[in-house]
Structure 1
Amino acid sequence: MDRDKRMSSGLEFLLFLCGLKFSWSCPRDCICYSAPSTVSCQAHNFLTIPDGIPPDSERIFLQNNKIHRLLRGHFSPNTIKLWIYSNNITYIEPSTFHGFTLLEELDLGDNRHLRSLAEDTFRGLRRLNALHLYRCGLTSLPNDIFRGLRNLQYLYLQDNHLKFLQNNTFMDLHNLSHLFLHGNRLWNLQQDTFRGLQALDRLLLHKNQIQWVHRLAFHDLKSLTMLYLFNNSLVELPGQCLDTLPSLEYLRLNDNPWSCDCKALSLWEWLKHFRGSTSSVGCQAPINMVGKDLKELRKEDFSNCSPTVSESRAQTNNLSGTVNPSMNRGVAVGSGGHTHVVHPSRPGPPKNCTKPRNREGKKKGDNEVHHSKEVMADKEDSFPDFSEGGKHDHTSPDGTVTRRKQKCSPRTTVRPPSGVQQANNKAPLSKSLQVQALFVALILTHIDHILH
């Protein structure tokens, strides 16, 4: 007895030296200590949750066992971190984590036979920051399974068997920054698949079976900087769906069966103006394009293609000389007929573009000088310079736009109607004015004679 007491005292002293306080209420074969209160029962071939876990435990580590069921009452709502990865869990009672308002990290990964979850499994976990559900054999996700998880930042769903994601599945995850969906069996991305993910920074979708992406699939992802779509089944990808990603910096599209015919024109146009980092986009069709990189193709390679929607609208407006704001908003035509996205100017009070009057009076030739300056301004600003290093709108990595500083838009020169001569100080007197002047001179010469 004395020997056991001495051993316990010695163990307690060693833990004290390490800054740990030994807890005598601890499940068999586990290690328990406080500061923070922790129970470590990993790698002991437990078939069930061990009895005797202290109710004040903040961290519980049960990974690498053979536990197959999680039921209500197994854990205390005081839990902050719970690791149960690499077990044999096949069933989680929906109310297992109800009331766990302090839980910040839950790792259920690598439970390959879990396969399904109830939609209210994670209900009420309002402080949850990281949720691990990788390699769980999941074939689908209930529509409201992540409802209310507004503090979640990391969601690991990779290496499951997901074939389809319902619209609005992630709608409540306003603070999510990392979403891992690679290694599944997804085959399409709908318009509202990622709705609500305004803070998302990284989206990993590689190693799926994606064949089709809606042109508005990424419309809420204004903060996204990294998008992985490599190793899928994409034959085409609309450039319009990437236009909605103003913060994108890293894009990987390699190892897809890209068709580099007319269907690739909009993607080619987008890649041409993207300033971030991209992978190769290897062409696998048509036969004359096999082995080429879509990014290296030239405009001539699409000579037989009709222009894209934005390009055709811009060209039509350019030829007709009119602009329809609802049709051509945010589109400008640069040299060579290429289309470029230009952010509309911010609303605000109109600038005073009236030229200051010359209070000293017009000098000789003023009309000609002003006219020539306006004509030159019209010529210089007719087509914005979108060439490398030119003065044009830049989109920085954080999505902000640096605009060229311009005082006023050039005024359109107003010319006189056809057949009417424009007067200036250098123009010679017309023949009718000469006759009138001669007549007035004769009257003045003979005025005295006329009066008498």
Structure 2
Amino acid sequence: MERTAISASLLAVCFVLAACRGSLAAPFCPAQCVCETRPWYTPQSVYHQAKTVDCNELHLSKIPWNISIDTQVLLLQSNNISRVTSELQSLVNLTELDLSQNHFAQIQDVGLSNLTQLVTLYLEENQIKELPDTCLKDLANLEELYINHNQISSIGPNAFSGLGNLLRLHLNSNKLVAIDSHWFESLPNLEILMIGENPILGLQDMNFHPLSKLHSLVLAGMGLREIPEGAFQGLDYLESLSFFDNKLTAVPKKALSVLPSLKFLDLNKNPIVRIQEGDFRDFPHLEELSLNNMEELVAVEKGAFSNLAQMAKLELYNNPHLFLLTAALS
């Protein structure tokens, strides 16, 4: 009998301890969210284990208050959040924040101050209309900014001030009509710029001049009809360039000639009529050239691809009216 009573007492103690542990743990994982340690890769593909709070697709109208302060990755994609006040201020260890597919109309409403360790920020598919000066100044360690598919029509000349460590900037599918080189003066280490699918009225000389370390530039779907000769001045390390789905009627060979490191060039889906002699002459590092889906292309002239020592891949697919001179490939 005494042994049975002792056992019952021990069992009761165990239940109490378990209940206490549960009550202590509960506030650190918001209801319906998933809290666990997951693999996380830096922009340089360095592997880490990161404490992750996943609150995606929960129809939340605000960020939960009871997120553990040691959270490193916070996922809030596909919710109904339109304003953040102080919910993020205690998350000083946050390295990745995903607020894509919410209802933010102003960058100031995202509550980004004090996130000094943030490396990756996703704000895709919101309704942000402008990026005013110094709006991201507190994100000193940010390396990736994804702000595609918003309504951005205005960017202040100092909007990216403080982002000296930024490596990747994705501004696709907004409403920009011009590119201001002043934007890039605060981004000396930028390697990837994706700014396609904006209704840009035209490029200007020295447009990207401050981006001396840029490796990849995407200018797809912008309605560009011509490229100024000096548009790419300063891009000595640019390796990849895409003009996919623009309105170019000729190869912009003078603008391309200032790119000594160019390896990959995409001119797919442009209304170019003829590839002329010398259009791609003397690109010492060009490895891949894509000239596909050109409805108006009728001819490739002899000598168009001369002296391309590194050329490994030339694509000329789905060009229904092309009469290809075989001598052009010799």
TM-score category, normalised to shorter length = 0.7 to 0.9
- Per the alignment, do residues 120 and 280 of structure 1 end up closer, same or farther by CA in structure 2, a change over 3 Å counting? same
The reply to whether residue 269 of structure 1 matches residue 278 of structure 2 is: yes
CA distance in 2: counterparts of 1:171 and 1:254, whole angstroms: 31
- Per the alignment, do residues 292 and 54 of structure 1 end up closer, same or farther by CA in structure 2, a change over 3 Å counting? same
- Per the alignment, do residues 9 and 128 of structure 1 end up closer, same or farther by CA in structure 2, a change over 3 Å counting? same
Q: Which residue of 1 aligns with 2:176?
A: 162
* Structure 2 counterpart of 1:86, from 101, 120, 123: 101
- Per the alignment, do residues 176 and 7 of structure 1 end up closer, same or farther by CA in structure 2, a change over 3 Å counting? farther
Report Cα offsets for 1:143-181 as digits up to 9, x if no partner: 211123121111111122222111221122222221112
Report Cα offsets for 1:333-361 as digits up to 9, x if no partner: xxxxxxxxxxxxxxxxxxxxxxxxxxxxx
Q: Which has the larger radius of gyration?
A: 1
CA distance in 1: counterparts of 2:250 and 2:26, whole angstroms: 61
* Structure 2 counterpart of 1:248, from 237, 262, 267: 262
The reply to whether residue 123 of structure 1 matches residue 137 of structure 2 is: yes
Partner amino acid for 2:287? G
CA distance in 2: counterparts of 1:206 and 1:7, whole angstroms: 62
The answer to whether the 8 A contact 1:94-1:120 is kept is no
Q: Which residue of 2 aligns with 1:313?
A: none
The reply to whether residue 279 of structure 1 matches residue 283 of structure 2 is: no
Q: Which residue of 1 aligns with 2:28?
A: 25
Q: Which residue of 2 aligns with 1:69?
A: 83
Give the deviation of 1:67 after TM superposition.
0.7
Partner amino acid for 1:109? E
Partner amino acid for 1:96? G
- Per the alignment, do residues 7 and 45 of structure 1 end up closer, same or farther by CA in structure 2, a change over 3 Å counting? farther
CA distance in 2: counterparts of 1:149 and 1:196, whole angstroms: 14
Give the deviation of 1:257 after TM superposition.
2.5
Q: Which residue of 2 aligns with 1:102?
A: 117
Q: Which residue of 2 aligns with 1:39?
A: 53
**Please, what is the CA RMSD of the aligned residues?**
3.5
Q: Which residue of 1 aligns with 2:187?
A: 173
CA distance in 1: counterparts of 2:118 and 2:208, whole angstroms: 25
| Secondary structure of the structure 2 residue equivalent to 1:186 | coil
The answer to whether the 8 A contact 1:225-1:248 is kept is yes
Give the deviation of 1:228 after TM superposition.
0.5
The reply to whether residue 191 of structure 1 matches residue 239 of structure 2 is: no
Give the deviation of 1:193 after TM superposition.
1.9
The answer to which of 93-102 and 160-169 deviates more is 93-102
Unaligned runs of 5+ in 2: 1-10, 38-48, 313-330
Q: Which residue of 1 aligns with 2:65?
A: 51
| Secondary structure of the structure 2 residue equivalent to 1:131 | strand
Give the deviation of 1:96 after TM superposition.
2.5
Report Cα offsets for 1:114-157 as digits up to 9, x if no partner: 22233222113121111110111222322211123121111111
Report Cα offsets for 1:245-279 as digits up to 9, x if no partner: 1111111113222354xxx86xx424133343222
Q: When the two structures are superposed, what TM-score results if normalisation uses the length of structure 2?
A: 0.74
> Which structure is higher in strand share?
2
Report Cα offsets for 1:220-265 as digits up to 9, x if no partner: 11111111102111234542211111111111113222354xxx86
The answer to whether the 8 A contact 1:258-1:281 is kept is no
Q: Which residue of 2 aligns with 1:16?
A: none
- Per the alignment, do residues 244 and 61 of structure 1 end up closer, same or farther by CA in structure 2, a change over 3 Å counting? same
| Secondary structure of the structure 2 residue equivalent to 1:69 | coil
Partner amino acid for 1:269? G
CA distance in 1: counterparts of 2:51 and 2:195, whole angstroms: 33
Give the deviation of 1:6 after TM superposition.
5.7
CA distance in 2: counterparts of 1:74 and 1:229, whole angstroms: 39
CA distance in 2: counterparts of 1:72 and 1:92, whole angstroms: 15
CA distance in 2: counterparts of 1:178 and 1:8, whole angstroms: 52
Partner amino acid for 2:125? D
CA distance in 1: counterparts of 2:81 and 2:217, whole angstroms: 32
The answer to whether the 8 A contact 1:29-1:41 is kept is yes
Q: Which residue of 2 aligns with 1:206?
A: 220
CA distance in 1: counterparts of 2:161 and 2:298, whole angstroms: 45
Partner amino acid for 1:292? V
Q: How many residue pairs align between the two structures?
A: 284
CA distance in 2: counterparts of 1:45 and 1:8, whole angstroms: 34
Q: Which residue of 2 aligns with 1:297?
A: 301
CA distance in 1: counterparts of 2:180 and 2:201, whole angstroms: 12
Partner amino acid for 1:129? E
Q: When the two structures are superposed, what TM-score results if normalisation uses the length of structure 1?
A: 0.55
| Secondary structure of the structure 2 residue equivalent to 1:189 | coil
- Per the alignment, do residues 41 and 254 of structure 1 end up closer, same or farther by CA in structure 2, a change over 3 Å counting? closer
Partner amino acid for 2:233? H
Report Cα offsets for 1:264-323 as digits up to 9, x if no partner: 86xx42413334322228888xxxxx5424xx2147x9xxxxxxxxxxxxxxxxxxxxxx
| Secondary structure of the structure 2 residue equivalent to 1:271 | coil
CA distance in 1: counterparts of 2:86 and 2:157, whole angstroms: 23
| Secondary structure of the structure 2 residue equivalent to 1:93 | helix
Once the two structures are aligned, what percentage of the paired residues are identical? 26
The answer to whether the 8 A contact 2:130-2:155 is kept is yes
CA distance in 2: counterparts of 1:209 and 1:98, whole angstroms: 37
Q: Which residue of 2 aligns with 1:325?
A: none
| Secondary structure of the structure 1 residue equivalent to 2:281 | helix
Report Cα offsets for 1:15-60 as digits up to 9, x if no partner: xxxxxx9564333333335774433222110112222233343222
- Per the alignment, do residues 6 and 60 of structure 1 end up closer, same or farther by CA in structure 2, a change over 3 Å counting? farther
